Structure formats: structure tokens, C-alpha cells
Structure 1
Amino acid sequence: MRAAERARKRAEKRELRRFTRRTRRRRIAWLTAGGLVVALVGLSLGAVYSPLLALREIRVEGTTSLDPAQLVDAVDGQLGTPLALLDEGELRDQLAQFTLIRSYSTEILPPGTLILHIVERTPVGVMVDGGAFDVVDAAGVVLATSPERPAGLPLIELGRGDVDGVAFRSVAEVLLALPASVRDQLDSISATTRDDVTLTLAGSTQRVVWGSATDSDHKARVLAALVAIHAGSGPGVYDVSAPGTAVFHAG
């Protein structure tokens, strides 16, 4: 009996030692894995916020009217800032001063480059404001003001309306729909409601009754075809208000 008891105790001790070794190995494995995770996180954070990944160059793409150097000067206060800490709100406020910017997007190019992709506003016409001419885009944003009428842009006449009214929205939609072949011949465009858009062609006594901005793409194609035929026909009126039965009335 004593021999059996001693054998049992020895077996229990061996099992306890095996259990202890397994527990110790698991603890070491967990501690090692945890240490590796902490080290990796630390290295990652160190790399992200390191001066090696700080902003050192700003590039501007997509501009035609704006001077890229002016945009860089406006936002270069963030040079030296880690890329992960660039302030998008500050960047937005700095670029908001440029009226010609319709929208922009940013691209980060490690290790230290910020690319600004700019989409500029496109002027569609000019409006008289007192004794000056305001160049406006399709949203009615004033892009520039000149004491003389700028060449190459139609005069927008709204009667008593303004850029916040339905007449301007109709005019803008028509201007965006016109093909270059017609837009280049345009002297003025007028409307007092959404349904009475009228165009006057430059260097002639020809007008265009457009009507509403509805179906403007179709009307633009029909008008381009009629102008190609009747441009030299003298005074007259193109009526494309119903594009399916559009006609040129001479005289």
C-alpha cells in the first residue's frame, strides 16, 4: 500500500510539473506576442508621426486660370507637419479665399508630398452691376469684375431678376447646353421667367426663341443645325422652343 501511495504521489508531482511547464510556456508565448504587438504599434506610430513622414512638398494640379504658386503660398503653413496630422479644416479655410476653386481633393504621396487636385469654376457670361461687369459661373458666383465688358462671354440680362432666381437658373442651363459652334456666336441671352429664354447672335440681327430650359440638349443640337444653314440669311428668328418643329423665320 505504501509503495502504491508513493507511486501515486510521484505521478501527481510529474503531472503538476508538466502542467506548470505548459502554463509557463503559454504565458511566455502570450507575453512574447503581446510584446511584439506593442512593438509593432510603437514602430507604426513612430513612423507615422516621424519627421521622416512630414510634409515637405506641396504640388497643385488642374489649374488653368489660378496661379499654382499662390495656392502653395496659401497652404504652406503646414509644411513640416507629419502627414497624419495635416489639418483638413485649416486647408479648406485657406483654399476658400480662392473664388475660382469650385472643388478640390487631396492626395498624400509618402514620404512627404501633398497634391492638391483643383477643379476651377468656368465662366459662362457677364452681368452688369452698376457701371461694371461681373463675370459669373453657372452657379452665379462672381469670378471677376471689370470696368469694361470682357470679350468672348455673352451678356446675361434678367430684367429685375438676379442670380438667385429661376430666370438665371434657366439661362445657366441653356448656356451649358449650347455647343461651342453656337456659344462662340452668342452676344447676349435674356430671360425674365423660367420659360422665356431668348438669345441674340453676335454680328447679326438674328435672335433665338428658346423658351424654357427643358430639353435644352435637344434644342441645342437643332439650333446648331439651323444656324449652319441660315447664318448668312440676314435678319430672322430661330424658334427652337418646340425642337420637334423648330423653324427659322426670315425678316
Structure 2
Amino acid sequence: MEPSISSRTERAAAPRGLRGGWRWVVAIGVASVVLAAAALALARSPLFRVREVRVEGVTHGSPARIVRLAALSERESTLGLDVDAVRARIERDPWVERAEIDIDLPSTVTVRITERAPVATVNLGSGPVLVDAGGAIIAPGAGRGLPEIVLPPSRIGRVPDASSTAPGVSLGPIAGALAALPPEVRAGVVRAEVSASTGLELILRDGLRITYGQPREVAAKAEVLTRVLAWARGTGERIRAINVMAPSAPAVVLAP
């Protein structure tokens, strides 16, 4: 008879266990609501409202412009700030390559800017503009000391997007070829001419013409140019032209 008594006891205890489980569910739900309400109250607390926006890394324009682009108000909380949205607004500035947003509790937002560096200028029909190493147009300007990318007349003014001047002529590879040159070599380049027959040609300040070819193998071509120019300086040889279309077999024309 004892097994049947034990069985009845277990069946009788089950409802009490079930009621206990529901109490835990209710307790957890209440705790979640309380925590959510506390978090909301904390986020709305004046202690965590945005009171200061610091900007670092700006050399073109002004930090005030970055603050305006961030569009933060004192009504916003640092606890619930949409960092991605703030970053996207700031990166609309053509000078801004990347923006990093840090929150220093309780009330400070720090914006660290990485700016685009112009490597050349190009005239697309309405005056010169600055372009970066990726061919993106940064801003109008002549860019003192920067080489000028010279496009065929038929290509000027036909700009389907920020990095391409026309089908078959893209600013990105040309600007990338210039950016790959060592600074001391790039500083001597005054023009980068796009030719239908030879591709890219670089003209240096002393009149030296470099037949570059298609803007590919840019690292190898930059290394060859650097070595040939260093050889000319070391030996006193005067060079009239260099051809690096095939960087493994460069050709040099000496001045008479």
C-alpha cells in the first residue's frame, strides 16, 4: 500500500510546485519592468545630457563645423546616443575620411577625425578640385604644390560619380598611382597626363617625362622610378625620359 500513498503525495505536491514556478515568472517580469523604468529614468537624468562635444584631428575647416554636423543637443543623453547616426552625419563632410565617436560619461562626446589628404588636383570643367588617393573629390581648390591630373579634352565635364571622370578614365587609379610615389618623388611631379596611346605620363619640374602606362603595379613602378632617379643623382647623368610601362624592364633615355 505504501507505493500508492507515495504516488498520491507526489500528485498532490505538483500544483504547489506549479504555483511556485508562476511566482518566479511574475517576480522576474516585475524586476524587468523595474529595471527598464530605472534605466529610462537614468537616461533622462540631467546628469547624462550632452553638455560638451570635443573635436580632435581637424586641420581643414573648423571644429565648429564638425559640431554642427554632429547635430547634438543638450536634450540628448549620452547613455542612449545613436553613435552610428552621429558618425554618418559627420562623414558627409568631404574632408572627413573617418570619424570615431567616444562617449566620456557623464556628459562629454569626443569626436576624432581622420581627414582625407589631397594628392592631386584636376579640372573637370568648372575649375580645379582636390582629390584624395582614392580619387574622391574633396573640395574646390588649386592645391599649391600638388600635381595636376590632365584629362583628354573629350573627357572633361563628364562625371558620372565622384571618383570617375568618364567610362574608361577613372580618377581613382590615377590618384592611387601618384599616392604610391615616395613623397620626395611626388613633390617633383607637376602634371599627370592621361594619353590614349601611352596611358599615364608624369612630367617632373625639370621637364623629365615618365611614361607610366596603365596605373597598375603602382608599387613596383614607384620603386623603379625611385631607384632610377637616385642613380641619376648619384652618377650625375641627365635623364630626358623614363619608361616604366614594364617595371621589370624600365627604359631610360639620357639627355645629350
Interval containing the TM-score (normalised by the shorter chain): 0.7 to 0.9
**What TM-score, normalized by structure 2, do the two folds share?**
0.75
User: Residue 103 of structure 1: CA displacement?
Assistant: 3.2
- Identify the residue that residue 186 of structure 2 maps to in structure 1: 183
**What TM-score, normalized by structure 1, do the two folds share?**
0.76
Contact 1:58 1:76 in 2 (8 A): no
Distance in 2, Cα, partners of 1:238 & 1:179: 17
Residues 152-189 of structure 1: CA distance to partner in whole angstroms, max 9, x if unpaired? 10011011224423333332221121111210111111
Contact 1:170 1:194 in 2 (8 A): no
1:103 corresponds to which letter in structure 2? R
- Identify the residue that residue 215 of structure 1 maps to in structure 2: 217
- Identify the residue that residue 247 of structure 2 maps to in structure 1: 243
Contact 1:135 1:145 in 2 (8 A): yes
The structure with the largest helix share of the pair is 1
User: Residue 70 of structure 1: CA displacement?
Assistant: 2.4
- Identify the residue that residue 152 of structure 1 maps to in structure 2: 145
* 1:23-38 correspondence runs (5 A): 31-38=26-33
Q: 1:22 to 1:124 in 2, by over 3 A?
A: closer
In percent, how many aligned pairs have the same letter? 25
Q: Which of 74, 77, 80 is the equivalent residue of 1:79?
A: 74
Contact 1:195 1:213 in 2 (8 A): no
Determine helix, strand or coil for the equivalent of 1:65.
coil
Do structure 1's residue 120 and structure 2's residue 115 form an aligned pair?
A: yes
Do structure 1's residue 206 and structure 2's residue 208 form an aligned pair?
A: yes
Q: 1:119 to 1:194 in 2, by over 3 A?
A: farther
User: Residue 129 of structure 1: CA displacement?
Assistant: 5.3
* 1:7-18 correspondence runs (5 A): none
Distance in 1, Cα, partners of 2:184 & 2:82: 46
User: Residue 199 of structure 1: CA displacement?
Assistant: 0.4
- Identify the residue that residue 138 of structure 2 maps to in structure 1: 143
Q: Which of 216, 228, 231 is the equivalent residue of 1:229?
A: 231
Structure 2: runs of 5 or more not aligned: 1-7, 157-163
Q: 1:94 to 1:79 in 2, by over 3 A?
A: farther
Distance in 2, Cα, partners of 1:121 & 1:213: 21
Larger Rg: 1
Distance in 2, Cα, partners of 1:129 & 1:20: 82
- Structure 1 vs Structure 2 CA RMSD: 3.2
